[in-house]
Amino acid sequence: MEFLIALGAGAILLGIGCLVAFFMTRRRQQGIPNWPTVQGTMTEAFVYAHTRQTTETAMTTYTPTLTYTYTVEGTPYTASALDAAPYTERSYRKRARAEEIVRGHPVGSPVTVYYNPAAPSQAVLTRPRPVAQRTVLWYGVANILVGGGAVALGILLRA
């Protein structure tokens, strides 16, 4: 029974550590979504289909490919990043998902561009949202709940 109490207490402490890490990391990264904005123009928008052939099968993925231009302090730039995710995370197995993104950015339309003030050639169309941070948050909450349950069970079995 003491084992359950100790295990639960450890899980609770781990959960609290995860929550502290979540809030500290979130505070540190607040600058990334606060990049300045400038108006740009969509110059290219299409779906790129890529087929990978293996010895057993072929798999096709679809990637929305966007290109836009913008000007920062009189210097023109061209970029193609939708967000901060790597290219491989922007590929979909269903063509419809990639086409949905492309339809939302028609050629010639104005777009709001978020650019890095220290390196204006780095730009995105959507603000980055760290997905892993949410995982740490939920992992911490789960540890606290499971740890609390283990402590309670240990106390009940002890009595």
Count, residues in the chain: 159
pLDDT in tens, 83-124: 766 655 678 889 999 999 999 999 999 999 999 898 999 898
CA distance 141 to 53: 42
pLDDT exceeds 70 at position 5? yes
- Kindly give, in sequence order, each residue whose CB lies less than 8 Å from that of residue 103, ignoring residues fewer than 6 positions away: none
**Hey, what are 93's tokens?**
């197995």
Q: What is the pLDDT of residue 6?
A: 85
Q: What angle do CA 143, 147, 3 make, to 5 degrees?
A: 135
pLDDT in tens, 38-48: 999 999 999 99
Q: How much is the mean pLDDT over the chain?
A: 85
